[in-house]
Amino acid sequence: MKTKLKIADANKRTLLAAPMLAAAIIYSAQANATTISQTLGGVDFMSGTKVGAGTFNTTSAGEPPPFNAFIGSDVSGPNFSASWTFSYGAIADTITGATLEIGLLDADSSAAPGNTVSSYTISVGSNVVDLTALLNTAMEADAGLNSYEYWDTITLPSSAFSLLAGGMPTVSLTLQGPGLGVLPGTTTYNGAALDFSTITIDTVGAATPLPATLPLFATGLGGLGLLGWRRKRKARAVA
């Protein structure tokens, strides 16, 4: 009876300790995941909001260019064209994913024929990654009505990760006609206003090292389990 009780106690201790060991190993093996996000411009209007050019200019006055004023004109030109540079510091960890979002007013995307985006790139020096097709696809899914702001997010390809690592990528956007004027019909040019732009980068660092005591704990737990097995085997032999 005593032998069976000791075996039961040993098995119980093993069962209680095993989950703790497993959790510790899983926790220690997890990499250090981090998300870096930076927004330029002041997110002044919600997506799907109708905003006149004058209202935009008044609300955004004082923000850094190109987020402070309407650029270009649907009627007289030129087309909207602007560049902006993020500055969030160099990234030493491995980049696993990234997105780029913009809030653009009066881009006249899907409501006007053809593609609205002439060029959309992210670059560092002479290294350039073309994002034009990605943004055109995203913007064509909007209602694209005249004088409305829409937010569009694209997932950056892995080819852009090396540009992000330096911490100062430049984004450039140029639109093209036809646009939509106040009166029915299309216009030759396509002016617009950039409300904001947000870059979000997911990274992962090196895994956390196992605590120095964990291997000893694992060894002790294994010995405990072996001892319980031997006692159980001996008890069966006696019986």
- Contact 122/131 with Cβ under 8 angstroms? yes
* Mean pLDDT across 206-225: 57
Give the pLDDT score at 53. 95
Classify the C-alpha dihedral 155-200-118-52 as positive or negative. positive
Lowest mean pLDDT among 41-50, 79-88, 169-178, 200-209: 200-209
Give the pLDDT score at 206. 78
Give the pLDDT score at 36. 98
Given a cut of 70, whether residue 50 has pLDDT beyond it is yes
Identify the residue with better confidence: 30 or 6: 30
Give the pLDDT score at 181. 80
- Of 150, 137, 154, 141, nearest in space to 106 by CA: 150
Confidence of residue 230 (pLDDT cuts 50, 70, 90): low
Confidence of residue 184 (pLDDT cuts 50, 70, 90): confident
Provide, rounded to the nearest whole percent, the portion of the chain with pLDDT above 90: 67
Given a cut of 80, whether residue 196 has pLDDT beyond it is yes
**Fold classification of 32-206 (topology level):** Jelly Rolls (2.60.120)
Identify the residue with better confidence: 145 or 31: 145
Given a cut of 50, whether residue 67 has pLDDT beyond it is yes
Helix (H, G, I), strand (E, B) or coil at 140: helix
Give the pLDDT score at 34. 95
* H helical segments located in 30-160: 53-60, 132-140
Give the pLDDT score at 214. 52
Lowest mean pLDDT among 7-16, 94-103, 105-114, 162-171: 7-16
Give the pLDDT score at 182. 74
Strands of the 127-130 sheet, one edge to the other: 81-85, 170-175, 117-124, 127-130
